[in-house]
């Protein structure tokens, strides 16, 4: 997958047929795991009400992402060009795509038990968890390429 064009309307990427298929399948499956509750503070004991609001807001946000996910990768978004697929996306929709991909990546990681070592966490993974490992890596792969517009790379 590579960026072939960028202008004020958005970005155009060239993908192999396999990449295009994988991206569609991945985004179509969003959300891939249950959203686990998050903390709003590590030190404020009076933050319970705020925490409740945060988790409600995140659930709403996820629902909005879900409503937009199918349209992002509908077949009409991909055009065949020789052996490749060309995918065009606006800057605004790219933000939505990045959030969906990162939700898939982070929630898959949580479903795996939040391993510190991502490289070796697949060793001895139960069969029913392997899909999360796959989702986590697939999402990271596409995030990297969508963000490579800005010429950066790496993992936190």
Partner 1 sequence: MPPVSEPVKAPVPTIEKDTRSKDQFAPTYYVVCWNDPVNLMVYVTHVFMKIFGWERQKAEKHMMEVHEKGKSVLVRENAEKAEFYVHQLQGYKLQATMEPAE
Binding site for partner 1 (CB under 8 A): 38-44, 47, 50, 53-54, 57-58, 61, 95, 98-99, 102-103, 105-107, 109, 114-118, 136, 140, 143-144, 147-148, 150, 152-156
Both tokens of residue 113? 């038990």
Checking DSSP bridges between strand 2-7 and strand 84-89, what pairing results, if any?
Answer: unpaired
Give me the least distance between CB of 81 and partner 1, in Å please.
27
Give me the least distance between CB of 10 and partner 1, in Å please.
16
Q: Output 86 or 96, the one with its CB closest to partner 1.
A: 96
**Which pairs from 77-83 meet CB under 8 Å and 24+ separation?**
78/15, 78/20, 78/24, 81/14, 83/16, 83/17
Q: Output 28 or 95, the one with its CB closest to partner 1.
A: 95
Give me the least distance between CB of 127 and partner 1, in Å please.
22
Q: How far is CA 69 from CA 86, 100, 111, 123, 132, in A?
A: 18, 8, 21, 32, 19
Give me the least distance between CB of 17 and partner 1, in Å please.
25
Both tokens of residue 35? 């959203």
């Amino acid at each position: 997958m590579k960026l072939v064009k960028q202008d004020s309307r958005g970005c155009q990427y060239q993908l192999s047929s396999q990449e295009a298929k994988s991206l569609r399948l991945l985004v179509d499956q969003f959300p891939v795991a249950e959203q686990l509750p998050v903390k709003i503070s590590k030190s404020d004991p009076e933050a319970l009400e705020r925490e409740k609001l945060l988790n409600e807001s995140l659930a709403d946000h996820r629902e909005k992402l879900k409503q937009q996910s199918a349209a992002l990768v509908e077949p009409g978004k991909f055009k065949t060009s020789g052996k490749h697929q060309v995918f065009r996306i606006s800057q605004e929709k790219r933000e939505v795509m990045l959030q969906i991909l990162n939700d898939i990546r982070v929630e898959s990681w949580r479903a795996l038990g939040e391993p510190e070592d991502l490289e070796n966490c697949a060793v001895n993974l139960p069969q029913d968890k392997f899909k999360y490992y796959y989702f986590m890596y697939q999402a990271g792969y596409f995030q990297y390429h969508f963000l490579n517009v800005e010429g950066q790379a790496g993992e936190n």
